[in-house]
Structure 1
């Protein structure tokens, strides 16, 4: 999610490994060239200023969205549905955890897909989701084994939703309404932000800032991604990759900061939804957990009671960093 510098907002975020042949990351010489370094510095500065500005406000930044706060009790249930549908759809297409990991073979591969599908169905049912979410987290070693540690970082968004559900599962009533304590909600939202932010930051480096070759290959296969060209601005492929990587890095840092979640989510919805027109079903399934996170941040950020919890960060002394929300 993002509220970025004007030069960064036009770039559409996407996952190159889902649509082109994967290439090995690790070209740090590109990242340490002047333009990526300057953009990275700008991104960090924007994130710090954005969070400092948010700490001066003790209420939701967009008051007209306050009615969304009424959905708070059902956010865990909705997150479970998002995660469950994503896992079930991935298993149905032969992909394990991520659309790019679709090369599983043999009895072991089929077993992993069956487990993935079963967990997807379980999460959709809404029954005992704390256990189901814990089992999703337990798939991490299998993912690292079949796809590597980089894939584990790139899929941290799914782990983020699962971690939230471990801390704040749906309630036992028919509709799954949850009423967590403030401490539980703070921790759940922190895990949610850290997981999704980590996934975006890892993707910024693994598919762009240290992997310009694959990013340029994606641009060649899908020239519509270059929205600069669509408005008559021509930049080199390397410049485009640097801007795209910095944009995704900004997304990740702003998610972790939790600052001004209403504005950030509404802005982020534009580029994240725009890629659906180009990549269709694969993009939608892969981003389902992210859409669920956007919904959670928007709803909790729209309530006077929980807006401050969205940006909470622990300190060394265990005190709150965020300004308490007004009662």
Structure 2
């Protein structure tokens, strides 16, 4: 089963709006054409099978990563640093929440950037991060007013980290070690997975599967993204866009599933890091919260005490787990 994910992994994921002129999504005729539909169905099937197999494995799938699980107490502190540095760097470059929103003007725009920078500094300090994270979530209405509702979905990865810190903030000691209850950790990881997965899925549609024109424009400007050409395979731009969108959709679904987090993160980190060679600082700053989430999933997924919390879902799963605990 571990071969299913790498089969679609060669396409490098990137945020087109960060590097080319933004174009509106909504070309559903492309998504409803045969290839995108077939790839989407295959991706959903892979994610379901991936989840079903993972729930039958009682332990971290990559045992040699067990020492990584020792970082568990400090993940909230590290997530706060990732989010804080990202917000501070974005504010310093005149961007609000995401590199693509860099057109703020006037007193209102400057005020938003100052708030963003202040929250970034606050998050880096590690002091009272639950309040700081709640204020980050409070920026959502301003983001919607500036960039529209789609931007909320595309930036859900930042909200995911903030939501995690609201539920599980760092501890009060000098290093911020946190020791949450199992229930709190489960819900925090669920919000983390849902936020990042939602961002990836929305981006798959808003920048690729229903926006092929912008995706093709990005490919024309940055032909190095076409790794098919690098290995001697010639595919049409439309095929490339369909595969790229399906790949991003797959990553989103796997993050939400929480299944085999060690394998999923290690595979996803390859294309996410490869784009740094092409896009540099902008890509690194924009993806900082995602890197933090990947680290969190890898660490929690490597610990015997927390790996089950990574793939936990409310409902029937929670009741099945609760019965033995009560007994």
TM-score w.r.t. the length of structure 1 is 0.96
1:44 is aligned to 44
1:202-235 residue CA offsets vs partner (Å, 9 max, x unmatched): 0000000000000000000000000000111000
Which residue in the other structure is 1:252 paired with? Answer: 252
Superimposed CA distance per residue, residues 12-44 of structure 1 (whole angstroms, 9 cap, x where no aligned partner) = 000000000000000000000000000000000
Name the CA distance, whole Å, in 1 between partners of 2:97 and 2:323: 37
**Alpha-carbon distance in structure 1 between the residues aligned to 2:232 and 2:212:** 23
* Structure 2: runs of 5 or more not aligned: none
Tell me the equivalent position of 1:201. Answer: 201
Matches for 1:148-187 after TM superposition, within 5 Å: 148-187=148-187
User: What secondary structure, in the 3-state scheme, does the structure 2 residue paired with 1:151 have?
Assistant: helix
- Paired residues for 1:120-269 under 5 Å: 120-269=120-269
Q: Aligned pair in 2 of structure 1 residues 24, 126: CA closer, same or farther (>3 Å)?
A: same
Structure 1 residues 46, 317: CA separation in 2 closer, same or farther (over 3 Å shift)?
closer
**1:319 is paired with a residue of what secondary structure?**
helix
Contact 1:47–1:254 (Cα < 8 Å) also in 2: yes
Q: Quickly say closer, same or farther: Cα 1:3–1:23, change in 2 above 3 A.
A: farther
Contact persistence 2:312–2:318 (CA under 8 A): no
- CA deviations 1:140-188 (Å, max 9, x no partner) are 0000000000001000000000000000000001110000000000000
* Structure 1 stretches of 4+ moved >6 Å: 321-325
Structure-2 residue corresponding to 1:78: 78
Question: Is 2:63 aligned against 1:63?
Answer: yes
SS at match of 2:76: helix
Find the residue that maps to 2:65 and give its secondary structure: helix
CA distance in structure 2 between the aligned counterparts of 1:64 and 1:219, rounded to whole angstroms: 38
Secondary structure at the aligned position of 2:319 is classed as: coil
> In 1, distance between residues paired with 2:229 and 2:323?
43
Matches of 1:320 and 1:197, distance apart in 2: 25
Q: Over residues 121-151 of structure 1, what are the superposed CA-to-partner deviations in whole Å (9 max), with x where a residue is unaligned?
A: 0000000000000000000000000000000
User: Could you tell me whether the CA contact under 8 Å between 1:207 and 1:215 is conserved in 2?
Assistant: yes
For structure 1, the residue ranges without an aligned partner over 5 or more in a row are: none
CA contact 1:84–1:121 (8 Å) conserved in 2: yes
Deviation of the 1:319 alpha carbon: 2.1
What are the superposed Cα offsets for residues 264-298 of structure 1, whole Å, 9 maximum, x if unpaired?
11111111000000000000000000000000000
Residue of structure 1 equivalent to 2:31: 31
Give the drift of 1:9. Answer: 1.2
2: CA distance, partners of 1:175 / 1:323: 36
Q: Deviations over 1:90-116 (max 9, x none)?
A: 000000000000000000000000000
Answer yes or no: is 1:97 the counterpart of 2:91: no
Measure the CA separation in 2 of the matches of 1:242 and 1:107. 42
Matched-pair contact (CA < 8 Å) for 2:11–2:227: yes
**What is residue 15 of structure 1 aligned with on the other side?**
15
Residue 116 of structure 1 corresponds to 116
Q: Given that residues 3 and 267 in structure 1 are in contact (C-alpha distance below 8 angstroms), is that contact kept between their aligned partners in structure 2? A: no
CA distance in 2, matches of 1:58, 1:88: 40
Pair 241,206 (structure 1): closer, same or farther in 2 beyond 3 Å: same
Partner residue in 2 for 1:299? 299
Could you tell me whether the CA contact under 8 Å between 1:4 and 1:250 is conserved in 2? no
Q: Could you tell me how far apart the structure 1 residues matched to 2:199 and 2:74 are?
A: 25
Q: How much does 1:315 deviate?
A: 1.3
Q: Measure, in 2, the Cα distance between the counterparts of 1:255 and 1:50.
A: 11
